Chains A and B, each alone.
Chain A
Amino acid sequence: MRSPLPTVALLALSPIALLAQEPERTTIGGYGEVHYTNPSGPDSPGQVDVKRFVVFFGHSFSERIAFRSELEVEDTKVEGGEGGGEVALEQAYLDYRFSPAATLRAGLILPPIGIINETHEPPTFNGVSRPSFDDVVIPTTWRDIGLGMVGTLPGSAGLSYRAYLVNGLLASGFTAEEGIRGGRQEGKNASFANPSLTGRLEWARPGLKLGGSFWYGGSANQDPALGTGTFENAVALVEADARYDVGPFMFRGVVANISIADAERINAAFGSQIGSRIAGGYVEGAYNVLSALAPASAQRLNAFIRYEHYDTQADVPTGVTDDESLARRITTLGLTYKPLYNVVFKGDYQLLRNKAGVGEGEELSLGVGYQF
């Protein structure tokens, strides 16, 4: 049976009458990871933890408007008076899609910085824990409230962007050991005293993705000791990353630099010892062993090595003596087994070193993770 339907006729028909009506739909998904870590060798017990259990809820109201969220439980539970444990909304935003080049996004969003912050599901990265750099330098999972635009630039240049205005960091939470991490407000009754800008540009080709991102914003929260301007005690972050897959090999690398020019004033106000510059990065190479052992298999067994080097006191302001134990070097060797793309079994061994040679150690980790 054949019915003639020339292209011209298809084009001439009213687009409104023929426009496919998208049904409303609710989607659920999730990811999680369970870890075993032993920092002290075979003679002492290790520790096990349900590191993360996360549920996604999403709803498409129409072809153009969608809601997305991520609700997380860390360490299985929150118990009054006990340390650890967290129940947190990690993302909750509305997308209004005008075109592929322009989607308006508003709500609790992820600053698009580095590789891990936006894409942090356990099967997407090697190693049981996220790279330490993506904890201490880029404080994943970094989320804040704001709005902005995301999209793909027209044409086939392969460029995409995200740009947001979000609430700022609080200098009161900055520390010598973990940099800006404690300054995140995470959407909890957050102060909007220092609206901050963050954005990212990405260029993709088959096998290759290059990205660059930034954050710029004040952190003084109108504290009279620090200054009341919008960009007072500015935090300026720049970052670049690359991912390259070729045959059975996978490479990725990230570098970032964070300047806190008014570190001296922040230290004076809070009695802290923060650096005026935080810098570092990592490189990682992986090889899918199954490509040689079982070429027909769609499963993966990645052997990988990652070298991280970062310092939360790369530069120190007047009044702070550089603590060389904060100049950290971490080498991670491990295996990542993925029977399916969304399921992962991991094991790794980390050599934790620092410039001062103080408190160095080695750590064995095992883990399982999933996403759906």
Chain B
Amino acid sequence: MPAAAQSAPHDKLAKSIERVYGAGAQVDTVKVDTTTVYRISKAGTLLGFAEVRNVIGKELPITFLVAIDPQAALRDIDILVYREPQGGEVAYEPWRKQFRGKTAADPLQVGKDIRNISGATISSNSVTLGVRQALAQLSAWRAAGKLQ
């Protein structure tokens, strides 16, 4: 479910990118169509691309980062802003790390290759759907040469 444009504080975003790609990486912004994509590199070597997206949880947007490597495999996701009183367990590392290494060819569905968190079922499903859409988009742009 797409959500109204919602951003994350930049310091949170910068820290998240640093956590995923390591310290000292250079972050450039690239516009593809109307979407802002972050291009991450270090000493001239491409490390990958990242995008901030939103999905609606139960009622409010969940703002998250999807980060891929140069081969368009998922490097990590990060929950940047979680706003609801329930379901915040999707930010836990044990849940997020299930996504690492996934590609656009994977089902990325709760109950199939992604395990649910009981009591956070709505958030688990929403974030998984959002990651699937983001990964499909980033992979397609990478394959089409729009992300270099």
Contact = CB atoms under 8 A, between A and B. Distances in A.
Contact of B119 (A15, A29, A209): A209
Given A2-B30, A7-B25, A243-B119, A204 B13 contact: no
B78 to A, nearest CB: 12
Contacts of A18: 9-11
B117 A10 contact: no
B31 A1 contact: yes
Interface in A218-260: 243-246, 248, 252
Contacts of A119: 86, 119
A4 B82 contact: no
Contacts, number: 127
A354 interface: no
B98 interface: yes
Nearest to B17: A7
A25 B60 contact: yes
A205 interface: yes
Interface string B1-40: 0000011111101110110000111111111000000010
Interface string B66-82: 00000000000000011
Contact of A156 (B86, B93, B116): B93
Given A3-B29, A13-B10, A208-B118, A160 B89 contact: yes
A124 B15 CA distance: 35
A158 interface: yes
Q: Which of A60, A68, A245 gathers most chain B CB within 10 Å?
A: A245
Nearest to A209: B118
A15 B28 contact: no
Contacts of A15: 9-11
Given A7-B24, A95-B85, A100-B82, A60 B120 contact: no
B146 to A, nearest CB: 12
Interface size, B (range): 35 or more
A154 to B, nearest CB: 11
A344 to B, nearest CB: 13
A206 B98 contact: yes
A7 B94 contact: no
Contacts of B6: 20
A160 B88 contact: yes
Contacts of B86: 118-119
B142 interface: no
Nearest to B124: A206
A311 B78 CA distance: 46
A13 B10 CA distance: 8
A19 interface: yes
B133 interface: no
Contacts of B102: none
A204 B119 contact: yes
A7 B10 CA distance: 10
A18 to B, nearest CB: 4
A61 interface: no
A124 B6 CA distance: 28
Contacts of B109: 298
B118 to A, nearest CB: 4
Contact of B27 (A7, A58, A298): A7
A341 B120 CA distance: 13
**10 closest pairs, A vs B, by CB?**
A243-B118, A206-B115, A10-B14, A156-B93, A27-B59, A207-B115, A209-B118, A18-B10, A20-B7, A204-B89
Given A5-B29, A20-B81, 8 more contacts: A7-B27, A11-B14, A18-B11, A58-B59, A156-B94, A204-B119, A209-B118, A300-B111
Interface of B: 6-11, 13-15, 17-18, 23-31, 39, 58-60, 81-83, 85-86, 88-89, 91-95, 98, 109, 111, 114-122, 125
17 contacts: A4-B26, A6-B26, A6-B27, A7-B25, A10-B10, A11-B11, A18-B10, A22-B83, A63-B83, A103-B85, A152-B91, A204-B94, A205-B95, A206-B95, A206-B98, A207-B117, A209-B89
